[in-house]
Amino acid sequence: MKTLRFALAPALALILAAPAFADAVPLKEISRYLNAMQTAEADFTQVNADGTISTGTLFIKRPGRVRFEYAPPDKTLVMAGGGQVAIFDPKSNTGPEQYPLSKTPLSLILADKVDLERARMVTDHREDGAKTIVTAQDPEHPEYGNIQLVFTAAPTQLRQWVISDEGGSKTTVILGDLREGVELGSAMFSIQNEIIARE
């Protein structure tokens, strides 16, 4: 099964490095921050497992919905809604590839209630200069892979993530300024609406 591959290249992660050191942001605070995020929008840079780079705009509507619009000439669209992930490839005439959101590590931050203090969910939690790095997995299904989240503090903000899928492939997403509280209609995350619009 192919899974979402949203991860960050270690080299590009250096752009967040800063000379100041601070304590890691507590897991309780990170959970609070993610649970408080209802909608968000950000430009992103994606580094794929093969080293290619894509850019675009990301839209989040928690719980359970996300949309990745890739910048031209890439016409791919990745979206999650209704418990499913769909990848729309304009070169395909067979409709989108779909699979359950619950089988991707991204579901951990799109959950209705994020609790990073849950037993066996977090496998790594540390500070790295001005960044806090948290690696999390589904404690019931570690075989689905994991997600490494990078945050900055004061105020807490998500900056990037690296997803490792069940095959070990890594994909990185680096976020620009995350704009929260934006108006996002539910139709933006309807896979069925997108299928109809493309017919």
Q: Let me know: does 31 contact 116? Beta carbons within 8 Å.
A: yes
| pLDDT at residue 18 greater than cutoff 70 | no
Task: Provide the pLDDT confidence category of residue 6 given band limits of 50, 70 and 90.
Answer: very low
Angle at 151 between CA 178 and CA 186, to 5 degrees: 40
The larger pLDDT score, comparing residue 33 to residue 19, is at 33
Mean pLDDT across the stretch 146-175?
95
The domain spans of the chain are 10-197
Structure confidence by residue, pLDDT tens digits, 48-104: 999 999 999 999 999 999 999 999 999 899 999 999 999 999 887 778 999 999 999
Q: Which of the four CATH numbers 3.40.50.300, 3.40.50.10810, 2.60.40.2250, 2.50.20.10 does domain 10-197 have?
A: 2.50.20.10
